[in-house]
Amino acid sequence: MTSTATGTASRWPSGSTDPETTRLAAGILALVPAVALLLVTIVDSGPVGTRFPSGIHEPIALLAILGPASAALVLGLNTADVSVRVAMLFVGVFGLLSAVSETAMAPAAIALAGATVLLAATAVKTADSPGQVVVTVAFTVGVLASMAGAFGFEPAFTRSLGSVAVAGAIVGLPAFVGWSRRSVFVGLLAGAVVAGVGIAVPALVAAVGLLGMGIVGLPLAVLVVGAVGGGTAVTRAVETGRLPMALAGLLVLVAGVPATIPRALALIVGVALLLEGSR
């Protein structure tokens, strides 16, 4: 009894809540506003013609910063890994600052880029498999390239590179949770839906991909494979009762290419949840 309690205390900060509950709360806190922002962006910019009431986009965009930034602070304050703690506290603090002042946008982008590099370094040291390292590094490349493109550095190249890197990372998400025949079937079904919609209504896929998720220069086939990988990972996480990992998968899917502060925040929180959940 005593040794178990001591072991638990050594892994988690004193006074912290159950790590699974903490990660679940952080995932929900980040995912809900990210989904809301994606939905509003798609509806307001899409080809359907439907529009949300005027003035709703700005408060949702603000929540899409406050939610993931707060989730990052929650993760940072409740992890035992020093590198993850530093990375997520940087993400949370600079994310909140970017919501307060536009002059904080550039420092926030630099902080987010640095945080993803720190998460990649953590994955190299602690990941359970080379696949997890590759996926984390790919997400990191996606953030670095997309942030560079957002600030005008060879935007055509860097945004395309960011799209490719994030798509490749999403394909590899099962490296964190594994797979089963059922999860692969659901993933294939998700890919089939994306393919069908892309062929039948290409304008809708373009609106969702470019306007809602910042995807640049990816053919439909890559989007389909990404849907297979993402769908497989999320389904497997739900199958095995690892709900924070499922939320992490949904976060990186919803975030898309991290060319804006809100999308980058959501994606980085998703990556941190993947790393924390795979320990």
Q: What is the pLDDT of residues 142-153, one digit of tens each?
A: 999 999 988 888
pLDDT at 13: 46
Residue 46: pLDDT band with limits 50, 70, 90: low
Domain encompassing residue 267: 18-277
Would residue 113 count as lying in a domain?
Answer: yes
Instruction: Please report the pLDDT score of residue 203 as a whole number.
Output: 82
Q: Given this model, what pLDDT does residue 27 score?
A: 96
178 found inside a domain: yes
Contact call for residues 174 and 236 (beta carbons, < 8 A): yes
pLDDT of the residue at 49: 58
**pTM, two decimal places:** 0.89
- The number of domains in the chain is 1
pLDDT at 47: 60
Residue 251 falls inside a structural domain: yes
User: 216 pLDDT exceeds 90?
Assistant: no
Alpha helix segments (H runs only) across the chain = 2-11, 19-45, 57-77, 82-100, 105-126, 130-150, 155-171, 174-177, 181-200, 202-206, 220-239, 243-255, 261-277
- Judge whether 201 lies within some domain: yes
pLDDT of residue 208: 81
194 falls within a domain: yes
pLDDT at residue 155 in the model: 85
Mean pLDDT of the 7-11 span: 39
Tokens 């406050």 correspond to what residue?
A: 66
Average pLDDT, the chain: 88
How much is the average pLDDT of 89-102? Answer: 93
pLDDT tens digits for 70-90? 999 999 999 999 999 999 999
Q: Would you say residue 5 lies in a domain?
A: no
Q: Specify if 6 maps to a domain.
A: no
User: Is the per-residue pLDDT at 50 higher than 80?
Assistant: no
Mean pLDDT over 215-228 rounds to 92
Q: Which long-range contacts (CB under 8 A, 24 or more apart) does 209-213 make?
A: 209/256, 211/41, 211/42, 211/45, 211/46, 212/38, 212/41, 212/42, 212/45, 212/256, 213/38, 213/254, 213/255, 213/256, 213/257, 213/263
In a domain, 32, yes or no: yes
Above 70 in pLDDT, residue 213? yes
Interatomic CA distance for residues 28 and 7, integer angstroms: 28
Residue 211 above 90 pLDDT?
Answer: no
AA letter at 197: V
pLDDT value of residue 44: 73
Q: Is the pLDDT of residue 11 over 60?
A: no
Using the predicted structure, report yes or no on whether residue 114 has a pLDDT greater than 50: yes
Q: Helix 105-126 to helix 82-100 angle, to the nearest 10 degrees?
A: 160
